């Protein structure tokens, strides 16, 4: 019996390039408009003709294949080419060079709300927007109640959308787009939609779509969402795919290679030596701070629940009897959240071994919720309560939510400032001593 023929990839991208012109007027003009412009302002027309044609390559030699049913996260910094790639795959814009083959109907959630008419009611805009997105009237009829329920705007369904709040507008628009049934779903930063509660609903909807076996391309800056939803990830940098593989590997590579080097510090490395230290006659004791994960690669973004290592380079600290190093974790509103000092775990700063030495704090499981966090660093003589050096408002890092409790639920800011390791028990008896 002949072997079954392997199914072709649902998406094939070969040597894809996309070029844009910078600062050029791309408005289409009639011959009459052009001739009128020449007559009215010949010098400007001549200058426009001589102006150099500056170009920018948004995509450069992009190659990949995606199998049917895969859920692929596309990550990278702003300007890396993620949205341009989705627009090419959605046929919104044409490639400059290369080939894209799509073997299935494509649904796009790129700019939620495009096609809403302010004078039409919510009910009318569901049909209007659905038609623009490629849905047939029969499809919209079948899913109408589901769309309305998901959006949460039932009471205002027959009100013109010009009277909707921006949040209501977005909720209804996303709800329409999310209920399409394409073989390929292309999504751009869906978690930026609406309030926190609705973002959770969006994430749940995306999870449902992925479980139905549809192919999903998902662009997001939320690494935890990518990790939770996707089984594969592509990393773009300056229009090129630089890594393609397992989600955890690609995210780890991305967070560890920020590619934003500067003279004094790069992501996760802070040179704090160029200061005047008020406490030691100008001489700094705290010289450098490196933030890293368990792999010791410097970075400034970490996931809730991940290992965080804070390595502090000190000079001359061990010259002082009873000296110690402390770190305070602060919120973006300058709240002191927690602290860790060498004396708390009886780590001894011995008498002089050498002038420079590293003092390393390792947090096994970072319990902070998503946000920007700061560090207040100090060196003191603990027994006397005397400062030797201190640094504030220089060292900081980002935390992104993850599945901290391993339940499939992403941790968000709404959970508070930090997570705790705990267990619940439900029982008919209460084990205790006699009261």
Closest of 360, 351, 378 to residue 278, by C-alpha: 378
Beta strands in 223-363, from DSSP E residues, in sequence order: 232-237, 240-245, 269-271, 286-292, 301-303, 308-315, 323-330, 336-341, 356-363
Instruction: Check residue 97 and give its pLDDT.
Output: 93
12 pLDDT band (50/70/90 cuts)? very high
Residues in the chain: 435
Edge-to-edge strand list for the sheet holding 269-271: 269-271, 286-292, 308-315, 356-363
Closest of 310, 262, 253 to residue 286, by C-alpha: 310
d(CA 15, CA 60): 8
Instruction: Give the pLDDT confidence of 105-124 residue by residue, as tens digits.
Output: 887 777 666 668 889 999 99
d(CA 20, CA 24): 9
pTM (whole model) above 0.75: no
Instruction: Check residue 430 and give its pLDDT.
Output: 66
| Domains present along the chain, CATH in parentheses | 11-25+47-256 (3.40.50.300), 275-415 (2.70.50.60)
27 pLDDT band (50/70/90 cuts)? low
Which residues partner with 358 through β-bridges? 313
Residue in the structure block whose two tokens are 């494509």: 106
Cα 9 vs. chain centroid, distance in angstroms? 27
Instruction: Check residue 64 and give its pLDDT.
Output: 94
Instruction: Check residue 69 and give its pLDDT.
Output: 87
Instruction: Check residue 158 and give its pLDDT.
Output: 92
Instruction: Check residue 264 and give its pLDDT.
Output: 40
Main-chain phi, psi angles of 339, to 5 degrees: -140, 155
Q: Average pLDDT of the chain?
A: 81
Instruction: Check residue 62 and give its pLDDT.
Output: 94
Instruction: Give the pLDDT confidence of 368-401 residue by residue, as tens digits.
Output: 998 889 999 988 876 667 888 889 878 999 998 8
| pLDDT, greater one: 127 or 412 | 127
Is 428's pLDDT higher than 80? Answer: no
- Residues 11, 66 contacting (CB under 8 angstroms): yes
Among 17-31, 135-149, 163-177, 220-234, which stretch is predicted with the lowest mean pLDDT? Answer: 17-31
What would the mean pLDDT of 127-131 be, rounded to a whole number? Answer: 87
Is 434's pLDDT higher than 60? Answer: no
| pLDDT, greater one: 2 or 214 | 214
| pLDDT, greater one: 310 or 136 | 310
Is 291's pLDDT higher than 80? Answer: yes
């Amino acid at each position: 019996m002949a072997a079954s023929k392997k199914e072709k990839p649902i998406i094939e991208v070969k040597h894809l390039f996309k070029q844009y012109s910078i600062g050029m007027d791309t408005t289409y003009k009639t011959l009459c408009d052009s001739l009128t412009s020449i007559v009215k302002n010949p010098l400007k027309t001549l200058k426009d003709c001589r102006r150099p044609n500056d170009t920018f390559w948004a995509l450069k030699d992009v190659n990949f294949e995606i199998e049917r049913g895969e859920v692929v996260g596309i990550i990278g910094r702003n300007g890396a080419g993620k949205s341009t790639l989705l627009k090419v795959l959605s046929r919104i814009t044409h490639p400059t060079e290369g080939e894209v083959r799509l073997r299935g109907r494509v649904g796009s959630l790129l700019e939620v709300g495009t096609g809403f008419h302010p004078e039409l009611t919510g009910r009318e805009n569901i049909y209007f927007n659905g038609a623009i997105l490629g849905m047939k009237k029969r499809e919209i009829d079948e899913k109408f109640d589901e769309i309305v329920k998901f959006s949460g705007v039932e009471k205002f369904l027959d009100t013109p959308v010009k009277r909707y709040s921006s949040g209501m507008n977005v909720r209804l628009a996303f709800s329409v787009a999310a209920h399409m049934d394409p073989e390929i779903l292309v999504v751009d930063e869906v978690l930026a939609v609406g309030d926190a509660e609705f973002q959770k609903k969006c994430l749940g909807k995306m999870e449902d779509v992925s479980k139905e076996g549809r192919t999903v391309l998902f662009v997001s800056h939320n690494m935890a969402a990518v990790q939770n939803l996707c089984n594969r990830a592509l990393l773009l940098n300056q229009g090129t795919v630089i890594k393609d593989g397992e989600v955890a590997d690609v995210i780890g590579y991305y967070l560890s290679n920020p590619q934003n080097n500067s003279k004094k510090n790069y992501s996760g490395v802070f040179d704090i030596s160029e200061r005047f230290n008020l406490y030691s006659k100008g001489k700094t004791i705290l010289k450098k701070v490196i933030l890293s994960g368990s792999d010791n690669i410097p970075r400034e973004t970490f996931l809730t629940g991940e290992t965080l290592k804070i390595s502090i380079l000190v000079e001359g600290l061990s010259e002082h009897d009873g000296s110690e190093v402390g770190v305070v974790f602060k919120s973006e509103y300058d709240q002191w959240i927690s602290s860790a000092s060498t004396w708390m775990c009886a780590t001894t700063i011995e008498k002089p071994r050498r002038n420079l030495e590293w003092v390393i704090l390792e947090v096994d499981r970072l319990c902070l919720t998503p946000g920007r966090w700061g560090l207040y660093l100090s060196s003191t003589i603990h027994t006397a309560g005397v400062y030797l050096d201190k640094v504030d408002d220089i060292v900081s890092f980002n935390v992104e939510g993850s599945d901290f409790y391993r339940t499939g639920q992403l941790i968000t800011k709404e959970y508070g400032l930090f997570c705790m390791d705990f267990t619940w028990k439900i029982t008919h008896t209460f084990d205790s001593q006699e009261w």
